[in-house]
């Protein structure tokens, strides 16, 4: 028996939950990132956005916080709905995460493109998982 066959036997019972490991990690993480910005508007973020010259900082920061919370919940909720609506919610939530993360890269970390710093951050994994669910949906 090869090592690969042994590992396959060990992993097989867990195949069904493997996507949920990614889904729950991303959904909970994104929800918590948004929730910590409440109450709206998140004042520390507003001050920072103002210092960066971003227009309408109260509105933009509030939309970011709400987007993070809604996308995090959507990634999880979409997986619980075994129909086209669930697939759509998953894809839209993944897409929202991608957009929010691109905004984070451009606004907060423009010096990271393409450097080792980008690939040593949690942000690249949030972006990648969002992109995964935007592409894959519930399939």
For the chain, which residues make up each domain, given as ranges? 19-136
pLDDT at 113 (0 to 100): 79
Question: Do residues 24 and 72 make contact, with C-beta atoms less than 8 angstroms apart?
Answer: no
Dihedral sign (CA 72, 73, 79, 84): negative
* CB atoms near residue 52 (< 10 Å): 10
Q: Is 70 exceeded by the pLDDT of residue 43?
A: yes
Q: Share the mean pLDDT of the chain.
A: 94
DSSP state of 51: H
**pTM, entire model:** 0.90
Question: Do residues 61 and 50 make contact, with C-beta atoms less than 8 angstroms apart?
Answer: no
- Please give the helix or strand (H or E) that residue 78 lies within, else none: helix 57-80
pLDDT in tens, 7-16: 999 999 999 9
Q: Is 90 exceeded by the pLDDT of residue 87?
A: yes
Under 8 Å CB-to-CB from 27, ≥6 apart: which residues? Answer: 72, 73, 74, 75, 76
Mean pLDDT of 63-88: 97
Mean pLDDT of 122-138: 95
């Amino acid at each position: 028996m090869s090592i690969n066959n042994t590992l396959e036997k060990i992993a097989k019972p867990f195949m069904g939950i493997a996507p949920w490991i990614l889904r729950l990690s991303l959904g909970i993480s994104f929800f918590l990132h948004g929730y910590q910005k409440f109450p709206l508007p998140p004042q520390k973020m507003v001050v920072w956005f103002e210092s960066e010259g971003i227009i309408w900082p109260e509105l933009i920061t509030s939309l970011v916080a709400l987007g993070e919370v809604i996308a995090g919940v959507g990634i999880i909720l979409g997986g619980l709905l075994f129909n086209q609506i669930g697939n759509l919610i998953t894809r839209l939530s993944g897409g929202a995460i991608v957009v929010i993360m691109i905004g984070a890269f451009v606004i907060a970390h423009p010096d990271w493109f393409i450097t080792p710093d980008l690939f040593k951050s949690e942000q690249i994994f949030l972006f990648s998982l969002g992109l995964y669910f935007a592409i894959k949906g519930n399939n």
